[in-house]
């Protein structure tokens, strides 16, 4: 009730000099509008940066098989094949922090088209979701192969730009057939150019095919041994005959790393966390799930490794943090400038209304009443400015996104912060003038000319 009366009085006092009220508020309006539009543009930039980072694999979590140890001799990562395609299916089904998963079967061998041949850095047997994991879904040409092709070991493939250049001399390879170790693959799509990765390896030097095809028709090694790329005998026309459904590990290996029999294995599993923030959760969920699926007793070491792209993630978080801090600085400066404007005008207002203050004191206003009245005026001024600023800020960020096509993202936090900060600015910068007003001597104030 008292608050209502004070706010009403404050509004009345502000209405008495509309032009000055508007000019005073302008500082806060511009400050808050700047904060809002900066925050929204900054948010947009952050999201854009995150998306870019995601496309170079920041959200990727890689699962690789563990190491085999025989008689104290460690054979290194990947020397025992422990991951199965079913593991991949289970990960995407049961880990909520994972958005997509792709099993990978690697091969390194010659690809032939016509009279040209080339050995791509990567020949990956995988599923269509590989493209989603690597943020590579929009192809330069053609269509990706389907889940159906994976089930049927379809002889289709996608090729990267480097492969197109080397084998096809830059002409469109769509519908052409390439041979990989005597198996012919129809090119159904061409990947967009991605360039080199952070190690300098050419990511466009790639050929993607259904993993079943690569596994059974191209590589076709025994299942639990490693090094598929060199174990398949060159020139074997029917590699499928080598398929051994029931691999028999050596007794020593069996004793050292006991494990259930796996019918089919993959070289690694590539997964994508839903967001960079969920990477730790994703790694933990994948680890738990795989330990359970591989029936590892508690205390025994993992027969797999889960890795994230720590370096990229760090770069990303420091970049976005930088953007946010920078914008915060700019926002602070503009709000402080606005606040100083408020203080300036409130001081002028106190001087100008000295007689009014004297009169109010004469009719019984206590110093506290005067303090409250001027403080309320400052806060009301700032809040009005804040609200106008929010509207103006939203408008300008809308204009920026629609006219300049910069990415923006609405930010509720910015709106809340703007309101809170403008009220605080009102309090801080309104206090001194209000205090000065409340300390006036009524006799002198009444006599003031």
Partner 1 sequence: MELIELRDIRKTYFLGEVAVPVLKGVSLRVARGELLALMGASGSGKSTLMNLLGCLDRPTAGEYWLDGREISGLSAKERARLRNRTIGFVFQSFNLLPRTSALENVLMPLCYTREPLSEQVKRRRAVELLERVGLADRIDHQQSQLSGGEQQRVAIARALVNRPSILLADEPTGNLDSQTSQEILQMFQRLNVEEGITILLVTHDPGVAASAQRTIRMKDGLLAGIGEVQPAGTP
Q: Which residues bind partner 1 (CB under 8 A)?
A: 5, 9, 12, 15-17, 355-356, 358-369, 442-443, 446
- Residues 6 or more apart whose CB falls under 8 angstroms from that of 339 comprise 27, 28, 31, 382, 425, 426, 428, 429
Distance (Å, rounded) from C-alpha 365 to C-alpha 311? 65
Instruction: Please name which of 39, 41, 169, 52 lies closest in space to residue 113, comparing C-alpha atoms.
Output: 169
Least separation in angstroms between CB 374 and partner 1: 14
Q: How far is CA 245 from CA 215, 293, 393, in A?
A: 13, 20, 66
Residue 410 CB, nearest approach to partner 1 (Å)? 40
Nearer to partner 1, 285 or 376 (CB): 376
Buried b (16+ CB within 10 A) or exposed e, 344-356: ebbeebbeebbeb
* Minimum distance from residue 435 beta carbon to partner 1 (Å): 14
Max CA distance (Å), the chain = 112
What is the closest distance, in whole angstroms, from the C-beta atom of residue 9 to partner 1 in the complex? 6
The answer to whether 87 touches 290, Cβ cutoff 8 Å, is yes
Locate all alpha helices (DSSP H) within 16-84, ordered by sequence.
Answer: 18-55
Query: C-beta of 363: minimal distance to partner 1 in Å?
Result: 4
**In this complex, which beta carbon is closest to partner 1, that of residue 14 or of residue 331?**
14
CB of residue 7 to partner 1, shortest distance in Å: 12
Distances (CA, A) of 199 to 5, 140, 415: 69, 24, 42
- When the beta carbons of 89 and 366 are compared against partner 1, the nearer one is 366
261, 267, 269, 270 alpha-carbon torsion, rounded to 10°? 180
Nearer to partner 1, 247 or 367 (CB): 367
- Pairing verdict, β 304-308 and 206-210: unpaired
Q: Which of 390, 297, 335 is nearest to 27 (CA)?
A: 335
**Minimum distance of partner 1 from residue 350's CB (angstroms):** 15
In the complex with partner 1, the residue whose CB is nearer, 94 or 369, is 369
* Euclidean distance between CA atoms 318 and 316, whole angstroms: 5
Residue 435 DSSP symbol: H
- Of 208 and 357, the one with the shorter C-beta distance to partner 1 is 357
Cross-strand bridge partners of residue 196: 202
CB closer to partner 1 out of 365 and 392: 365
Measured CA to CA in angstroms, residue 21 lies from 25, 381, 439, 447 at distances of 6, 7, 24, 26
Minimum separation from the CB atom of position 343 to partner 1 (A): 23
At closest approach, how far in Å is the CB of 447 from partner 1?
Answer: 9
If the CB atoms of residues 142 and 358 are measured against partner 1, the closer one turns out to be 358
| Half-sphere exposure of residue 206: CA atoms within 13 angstroms, side-chain side | 26
Q: Give residue for tokens 């889960």.
A: 306
Q: Smallest distance, Å, CB 16 to partner 1? A: 4
Block residue for tokens 């003038």? 433
Identity of the residue, 314 or 447, whose beta carbon is nearer to partner 1 in the bound complex: 447
Cα–Cα separations (whole angstroms), residue 9 to 327, 351, 373:
37, 18, 8
Which of 247, 442 has the CB closer to partner 1?
442
What are phi and psi for residue 259, nearest 5 degrees? -155, 155
Would you say 8 or 314 has its CB closer to partner 1? 8
């Amino acid at each position: 009730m008292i608050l209502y009366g004070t706010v009403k009085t404050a509004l009345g006092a502000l209405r008495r000099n509309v032009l000055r009220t508007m000019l005073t508020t302008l500082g806060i309006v511009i400050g808050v509008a700047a904060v809002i539009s900066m925050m929204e543009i900054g948010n947009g930039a952050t999201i854009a940066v995150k998306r870019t980072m995601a496309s170079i694999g920041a959200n990727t979590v890689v699962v690789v098989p563990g190491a085999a140890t025989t008689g104290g001799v460690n054979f290194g990562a990947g020397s025992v094949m422990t991951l199965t395609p079913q593991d991949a299916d289970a990960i995407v089904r049961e880990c909520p922090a994972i958005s997509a998963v792709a099993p990978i079967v690697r091969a390194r061998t010659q690809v032939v088209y016509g009279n040209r041949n080339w050995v791509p850095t990567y020949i990956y047997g995988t599923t269509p979701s590989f493209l989603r994991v690597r943020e590579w879904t929009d192809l330069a040409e053609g269509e990706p192969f389907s889940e159906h092709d994976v089930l049927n070991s379809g002889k289709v493939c996608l090729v990267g730009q480097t492969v197109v250049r080397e084998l096809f001399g830059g002409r469109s390879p769509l519908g052409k057939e390439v041979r990989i170790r005597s198996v012919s693959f129809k090119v159904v799509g061409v990947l967009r150019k991605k360039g080199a990765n952070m190690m300098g390896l050419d990511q466009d030097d790639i050929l993607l095919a259904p993993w079943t095809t690569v596994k059974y028709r191209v590589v076709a090694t025994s299942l639990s041994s490693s090094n598929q790329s060199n174990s398949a005998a060159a020139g074997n026309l029917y590699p499928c005959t080598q398929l051994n459904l029931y691999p028999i590990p050596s007794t020593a290996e069996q004793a050292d790393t006991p494990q259930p029999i796996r019918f089919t294995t993959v070289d690694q599993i590539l997964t994508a966390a839903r967001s960079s923030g969920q990477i730790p959760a994703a790694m933990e969920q994948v680890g738990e799930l795989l330990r359970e699926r591989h029936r590892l007793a508690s205390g025994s070491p993992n027969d797999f490794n889960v890795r994230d792209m720590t370096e990229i993630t760090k770069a990303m978080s420091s970049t976005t943090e930088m953007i946010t801090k920078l914008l915060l600085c700019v926002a602070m400066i503009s709000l402080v400038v606005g606040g100083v404007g408020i203080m300036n005008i409130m001081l002028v207002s106190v001087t100008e209304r000295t007689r009014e203050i004297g009169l109010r004191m004469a009719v019984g206003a206590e110093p506290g009443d005067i303090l409250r009245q001027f403080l309320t005026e400052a806060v009301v001024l700032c809040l009005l400015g804040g609200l106008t600023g929010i509207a103006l800020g939203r408008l300008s960020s809308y204009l920026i996104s629609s006219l300049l096509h910069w990415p923006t993202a609405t930010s509720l936090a910015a709106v809340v912060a703007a309101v809170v900060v403008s009220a605080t600015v009102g309090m801080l910068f309104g206090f001194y003038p209000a205090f000065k007003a409340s300390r006036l001597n009524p006799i002198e104030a009444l006599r003031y000319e």
